[in-house]
Amino acid sequence: MPETFSFGVDPVTTHAWNRDRSEVAVSLNNHEVKVYKKTGITYNNTATLQEHGQRVTSIDWAQKSNSIVTCGADRNAYVWTLQGNGQWKPVLVILRINRAATCVRWSPDENKFAVGSGARIISICYFEEENKWWVSKHIKKPIRSTVTCIDWHPNNILLAAGSTDFKARVFSGYIKDVEQKPSATAWGAKMTLGNLMCEYSNGGGGWVHNVSFSPSGEKLAWVGHDASVSVAMAGGDKIAVVKGNFLPFMSMTWVTENSMVCVGYDCCPKLFSHSDDGQVTFITDLDIPQEKDQMTMSAMNRFRQMDKTGTAENTGEIKTKHQNTITKVSVFAGTKADCTKFSTSGADGQMIIWDFKSLEKSVSGLRIA
């Protein structure tokens, strides 16, 4: 059974785990970030990060250095480091943007991070040793609208971004001050900062809500407000797209090289696969009500169903474990290449940890590639 935790009635807009998954940082749709530590079967609030003046929009927790980076609608980003006294110390990042910061991600080597914004800018931020502060360089063209999501390639150089101009793009995020000159990749050879390697549109009219490189970095997937899941291969111009009878997706992650978990307004994690022949296929819902759940229906509900002949199934009850939009999915145990557990947070104030491997056994006919 999935592990379910509640943080109250406020929506959990995003969450990020520390390295050993003993702590989680969450945003409850306000200007604070709360850090929770697992004690037994519950999570206790151990710290509240309060430097932001407006709503926190994104959080990322560095797995190696244990630093937290946050960004918010106040146009600021902060890097938080844990002090010897147990307090988190913030350092302001010089973003140089005039609109809300919308998303933030550490690079795999954690020597820089990227911040997307409503200013149609991506800020690539790095630590300047001489002045002991975080500075940034900008990627601007050809972004024409708010940057909603970003993800780093495993090589620490390439950066994928999605925006509200319905496009997913791959840029070079190379900063010569902090890293060696990179070699060419299947996505392109020119690596100067901000160089546009690829630009994709699936032909739909949906904002791109999340982008993600596959574990190998050879595939790029994105989900949008048009309820689509799209995948592009490195070095190719063809895009595989699937659109079903889904509500819009808000977040996604790879769980193997060929499988993705997507979440959103359906309140249910959904599994998709990308085959060797380039097709994206919906596999199954990962939150299916069990038989025993149906047996616990109250006598009043049974009476109402019997009274509504022909509409017995439509009781208005949400049968999924999440009772509102799922806002974020992330790998909890394992890696993108071999995920064993993943976590979701939602607008219902819940965080749920799902045992991905046990789902393979419980869902009839499911085979995870």
User: For the chain, which domains are there?
Assistant: 3-309+317-362 (2.130.10.10)
**Distance from C-alpha of 165 to C-alpha of 119, rounded to nearest angstrom:** 13
**How many angstroms separate the CA atoms of 282 and 291, rounded?**
23
Residue 203 has pLDDT above 90, yes or no: no
What's the rounded Cα separation, in Å, for the pair 47 and 354?
A: 26
Task: Give the tokens for residue 255.
Answer: 């769980």
pLDDT interval class at 52 (50, 70, 90): very high
Q: How many CB atoms lie within 10 A of CB 241?
A: 16
pLDDT at 361: 66
Of residues 42, 41, 24, the one with CA closest to residue 33: 24
Of 124, 127, 128, 174, give the one whose Cα is nearest residue 147: 124
**For the chain, what is the mean pLDDT?**
91
pLDDT tens for each residue of 304-328: 555 544 444 555 678 899 999 999 9
CB 46 within 8 A of CB 55: no
Greatest alpha-carbon pair distance for the chain in Å reads 75
Mean pLDDT of all residues in 17-36: 97
| pTM for this prediction | 0.91
**pLDDT for 41 beyond 60:** yes
Q: What is the pLDDT of residues 268-291, one digit of tens each?
A: 999 999 998 889 999 999 997 754
Mean pLDDT of 332-337: 97
Peptide bond into 269 cis (omega under 30): no
As given in the structure block, the two tokens for residue 139 are 């990627």
Give, rounded to a whole angstrom, the gap between the first and last alpha carbons of the chain. 22
pLDDT, tens digit (0-9, with 9 covering 90-100), for 69-126 = 999 999 999 999 999 999 999 999 999 999 999 999 999 999 999 999 999 999 999 9
The CA distance from 71 to 101, in Å, is 6
pLDDT above 60 (res 292) = no
Whether 245 has a pLDDT exceeding 60, the answer reads yes
Angle made by CA atoms 346, 41, 356, in degrees to the nearest 5: 55
pLDDT of residue 1: 81
Distance, in Å, from the CA atom of 241 to the CA atom of 229, rounded to the nearest integer, reads 6
The average pLDDT across 248-261 equals 97
The reported pLDDT for the residue numbered 277 is: 84
Which of 47-56, 68-77, 111-120, 360-369 is least confident?
Answer: 360-369
pLDDT in tens, 140-159: 999 999 999 999 999 999 99
Q: Which amino acid is at 311?
A: T
Confidence of residue 236 (pLDDT cuts 50, 70, 90): confident
